[in-house]
Chains A and B, each alone.
Chain A
Amino acid sequence: MVKKILTVITTIISLLFPTKESVYIKDHIIDISFIPVNIYWIDDSNILLCSYGQTFIYNTITRGKNEIETCEKCIYGFDQGLVYCKYEHRVISSTKEFSTTIYVYDSRAKLLYERNLFPTVLPYKCTKRYISLRPAYSFLERKEYVLDISKDSFKEVSIESKQKIFNGITKKSTVISEKVDLERLIVLDEYNRIWVYVRE
């Protein structure tokens, strides 16, 4: 009964004093020539833009940009500091063999973790706790995997394609990263331009 009364009161209050919805507006275009595979928020303003060939630390306020030295067959990530995941692939002749080896290093190139796997996969999200992976070649069946480092487990996970709706972001654009407090968004538009949006 009390719960019902509280719900009614809350509803009445929310109708009388509607909270203003957040609206996002374009701030600027990030001037890079690639679409990041992943983006990590390092702090309030800095993000790590990662792809397999190029990695940048980018300040979403000052627009300062620093390229990180490229590592071969690897992708950078961030987890209380820079990390990177290296991968090696090999040709196999039966499913009893492994076709992928994953290594996780910290920023001082100290090996943190190593694991042999089947199938042939690529890391796309690299942290000290877990790694997200996809089939290494785009002509292979579309799947997603997670390598849980703390449990040393590797499993297939369902593919999530849900996208949050943010006021001010058009349907043709995709929110590819959001700051934890949702003050800033990184958005890929229909022309493959990458924008920083800010909450008004």
Chain B
Amino acid sequence: MFPAILLSSILALNPVWESKERRLSWPNYGDGYEYVVQIFTDREYTQLYIESETTTNTWIGVTLYDTNLYFARVRYSNSETEDEDYFPLGQFYLNLENGYLGEDIIYFPPLEEDEEVEDLIKDLEVDDEKKDTDDFIYSPIDERDQLPDSGDGESVLGESTKAKELCRIFLFKEKGEVDASFRCDLGVELKKVEYINWGEYFTLEIKGTYFKSIPSYVKIYECKKRTVTDPSTWFGCKKILVDEYIGPLPLRFVGNIQVDGKVYPNTNWGFGDTEFFVKAKFRDDISRKDVRLRLELSSYVKGKEWIDFLAYIRKTLITGKAKAPDSNKPFSFPFEKYIGVSQWHGCTVYQCPHKGIDFGSYKEKVLSIGDGKVVSTGYDKYGGQCFQGGRYVIVKHINGMHSTYFHLDSYSVKVGATVKKGSVIGVSGNSGKWNCQRLGYHLHFETRKNRYSSSHVNPIEYIDADWSMVPTLRYKLFPGRLSGDNPHPSF
């Protein structure tokens, strides 16, 4: 009896799956080529990097020792032709405790070995041959995962969630931390990946969809307290089920771009009800780097008590070669550099319509957006003492359109002068008034079909610029600034 208990305790301490072999193979690029496999993984938010020895084979076997997500690629090179590039070997997830290894990318999977979860493990057990197949990884939730009928014919899962499959989630609480384990369809799909070379920099834009909530069945586990009568608690954690929750699980995402394992700071993102976008700006070309979309998911459940948890989803991005921007807009940006906006064109919460764009510039050089002729300058008092546009310049362009520049600190052109695209016409300021109040420093800039202000059009449609690099200034403090014809409504 005693040896049997001892053996089971040792087994509990030493899971069956201590390591896992995986074969990685790639195409044969021909004679003279050598290959080095690179494997990336994360541990406690740090990127780990493993590199194999150089080989001329077209496969290697690797042994993985950690429960984690792995990303692999092979560098093939020919020293004679100096050809060198990478071939992606995909990403795979290894759970040592279950021997689960596949192409999915959900984070943290602690599964249990105690009696309470034996049934669950049985449910998840499959033949060894099936473990590495996509079938196993993406298998739909079958009958055993369906909730019992609530009796009244209505779903117990709440409404307004598009996810149809029940998500089974296992939360393990230990020392104030919560590990979440689940393999569920969160609806995260990439719809567009666009990588653009703007000359001085590169941008990567990703658009996709996600679920805002999913139907869930959550089981919450803790370590059982050590007791003299239960030997399985003597040497380590015996996980026991302490709570359950059935209902909708809210999914709150934020997003980032990771390049070679580092989170890129220069990223804008927005998450709507079902769609998201993430956009990052890079100084250098990233097309040959390991680029991933990293989504941080925060969620919570209310069982006997509130439990919050975080999880991470990573998707590898194939950027391809950067494209040139696709634009045939006639005008250029009215400053030497991108400057943020304090009010967009259109019907904003402040003015409807707001006839131009307000750039939050403090005494910056103002440039003509196109070739043309100065048709008006002066000090505008359109509303008498209390409403004034201040010092202004109006330029008529060769296509007949007009551009106007208000609240200038000074202007350096005269009526009749010819201006070139990009030539300096003045300096932005805060001249003028609104309801007898002083304005903040900004440039009120309009594009018009003709000279009259009623012919105003949205400058974004005519100015060749990467508008995603023109943020809304201080929108946290003034959320109303996001309104109007904002090309990126969340920032």
Binding site for B on A (CB under 8 A): 25, 27-29, 31, 34-35, 63, 91-95, 99, 118-120, 135, 137-142, 188, 191-193
Contact of A31 among B252, B342, B343 (CB under 8 A): B252
Smallest CB–CB gap between A187 and chain B, Å?
A: 13
| B479 cross-chain contacts in A, Cβ below 8 A | 34-35
Among listed B195-203, B223-231, B409-417, B429-437, interface-contacting one: B429-437
The docked-state distance in angstroms from the alpha carbon of A16 to that of B254 is: 45
Chain B residues 418 to 457 lying within 8 A of chain A, measured CB to CB, are: 430, 434-440, 442
Q: Let me know if B112 is at the binding interface, CB within 8 A.
A: no
Q: Let me know if B43 is at the binding interface, CB within 8 A.
A: no
Smallest CB–CB gap between A160 and chain B, Å?
A: 14
Known: A29-B300, A139-B343. A93 touches B474 (CB 8 A): no
Smallest CB–CB gap between B242 and chain A, Å?
A: 19
| B290 cross-chain contacts in A, Cβ below 8 A | none
User: Which of A34, A139, A193 has its CB near the most chain B CB atoms (within 10 A)?
Assistant: A139
The docked-state distance in angstroms from the alpha carbon of A143 to that of B435 is: 15
| A63 cross-chain contacts in B, Cβ below 8 A | 302, 306
The docked-state distance in angstroms from the alpha carbon of A138 to that of B442 is: 11
Known: A138-B478, A191-B254. A93 touches B386 (CB 8 A): yes
| A138 cross-chain contacts in B, Cβ below 8 A | 342-343, 350, 440, 474, 477-478, 480-481
Smallest CB–CB gap between B27 and chain A, Å?
A: 41
User: Which of B430, B436, B438, B474 has its CB near the most chain A CB atoms (within 10 A)?
Assistant: B436
Binary contact readout B341-356 vs A (1 if CB under 8 angstroms, 0 otherwise): 0110000001000000
Chain B residues 251 to 267 lying within 8 A of chain A, measured CB to CB, are: 252, 254
Known: A34-B479, A35-B476, A93-B384. A140 touches B438 (CB 8 A): yes
Binary contact readout B320-340 vs A (1 if CB under 8 angstroms, 0 otherwise): 000000000000000000000
| B252 cross-chain contacts in A, Cβ below 8 A | 29, 31, 193
Known: A93-B384, A191-B254. A139 touches B440 (CB 8 A): yes
A140 engages B434 (CB within 8 Å): yes
A118 engages B436 (CB within 8 Å): yes
Contact of B435 among A34, A99, A188 (CB under 8 A): A99
Q: Let me know if B133 is at the binding interface, CB within 8 A.
A: no
Q: Let me know if B118 is at the binding interface, CB within 8 A.
A: no
A94 engages B385 (CB within 8 Å): yes
The docked-state distance in angstroms from the alpha carbon of A193 to that of B253 is: 10
Q: Let me know if B358 is at the binding interface, CB within 8 A.
A: yes
Known: A29-B300, A193-B252. A135 touches B306 (CB 8 A): no
Binary contact readout B340-380 vs A (1 if CB under 8 angstroms, 0 otherwise): 00110000001000000010000000000000000000000
A139 engages B342 (CB within 8 Å): yes
User: Which of B384, B437, B442, B478 has its CB near the most chain A CB atoms (within 10 A)?
Assistant: B437
The docked-state distance in angstroms from the alpha carbon of A25 to that of B177 is: 12
The docked-state distance in angstroms from the alpha carbon of A188 to that of B306 is: 21
Chain B residues 459 to 491 lying within 8 A of chain A, measured CB to CB, are: 474, 476-481
The docked-state distance in angstroms from the alpha carbon of A31 to that of B435 is: 38
Q: Let me know if B250 is at the binding interface, CB within 8 A.
A: yes
Q: Let me know if B308 is at the binding interface, CB within 8 A.
A: yes
| A99 cross-chain contacts in B, Cβ below 8 A | 435-437
| B430 cross-chain contacts in A, Cβ below 8 A | 141
Contact of A141 among B250, B386, B438 (CB under 8 A): B438
Q: Let me know if B298 is at the binding interface, CB within 8 A.
A: yes
The docked-state distance in angstroms from the alpha carbon of A137 to that of B302 is: 41
| A142 cross-chain contacts in B, Cβ below 8 A | 440
The chain B residue with its CB closest to the CB of A96 is B436
A120 engages B435 (CB within 8 Å): yes
A192 engages B476 (CB within 8 Å): yes
Smallest CB–CB gap between B480 and chain A, Å?
A: 7
The docked-state distance in angstroms from the alpha carbon of A142 to that of B437 is: 11
The docked-state distance in angstroms from the alpha carbon of A31 to that of B301 is: 12
Known: A94-B385, A193-B298. A141 touches B254 (CB 8 A): no
A139 engages B385 (CB within 8 Å): no
Smallest CB–CB gap between B367 and chain A, Å?
A: 21
User: Which of B308, B384, B434, B442 has its CB near the most chain A CB atoms (within 10 A)?
Assistant: B434
Contact of B476 among A94, A119, A188 (CB under 8 A): A188
- Contacts A31-B250, A137-B350, A138-B343 supplied; 7 other A-B pairs, CB < 8 Å: A94-B385, A95-B436, A118-B436, A137-B434, A138-B440, A140-B438, A141-B437
A119 engages B298 (CB within 8 Å): no
| A141 cross-chain contacts in B, Cβ below 8 A | 430, 437-440
The chain A residue with its CB closest to the CB of B442 is A139
Known: A28-B300, A29-B300, A188-B476. A139 touches B436 (CB 8 A): no
| B435 cross-chain contacts in A, Cβ below 8 A | 91-92, 99, 119-120
| B269 cross-chain contacts in A, Cβ below 8 A | 191
The docked-state distance in angstroms from the alpha carbon of A188 to that of B477 is: 12
B436 engages A92 (CB within 8 Å): yes
The docked-state distance in angstroms from the alpha carbon of A114 to that of B302 is: 45
Known: A28-B306, A193-B298. A139 touches B439 (CB 8 A): yes
The chain B residue with its CB closest to the CB of A120 is B435
Smallest CB–CB gap between A93 and chain B, Å?
A: 5
| B176 cross-chain contacts in A, Cβ below 8 A | 25
Smallest CB–CB gap between B376 and chain A, Å?
A: 23
| A92 cross-chain contacts in B, Cβ below 8 A | 386, 435-436
The docked-state distance in angstroms from the alpha carbon of A188 to that of B350 is: 25
User: Which of A92, A120, A137, A142 has its CB near the most chain B CB atoms (within 10 A)?
Assistant: A137
Nearest 9 CB-CB pairings of A with B? A138-B478, A191-B254, A141-B438, A119-B437, A141-B440, A28-B308, A95-B436, A120-B435, A137-B350
The docked-state distance in angstroms from the alpha carbon of A146 to that of B131 is: 68
| A192 cross-chain contacts in B, Cβ below 8 A | 476
Known: A93-B384, A193-B252. A29 touches B480 (CB 8 A): no
The chain B residue with its CB closest to the CB of A52 is B480
The docked-state distance in angstroms from the alpha carbon of A137 to that of B434 is: 10
A29 engages B442 (CB within 8 Å): no
The docked-state distance in angstroms from the alpha carbon of A23 to that of B453 is: 57
| A191 cross-chain contacts in B, Cβ below 8 A | 254, 269
The chain A residue with its CB closest to the CB of B351 is A137
| B478 cross-chain contacts in A, Cβ below 8 A | 138
The chain A residue with its CB closest to the CB of B176 is A25
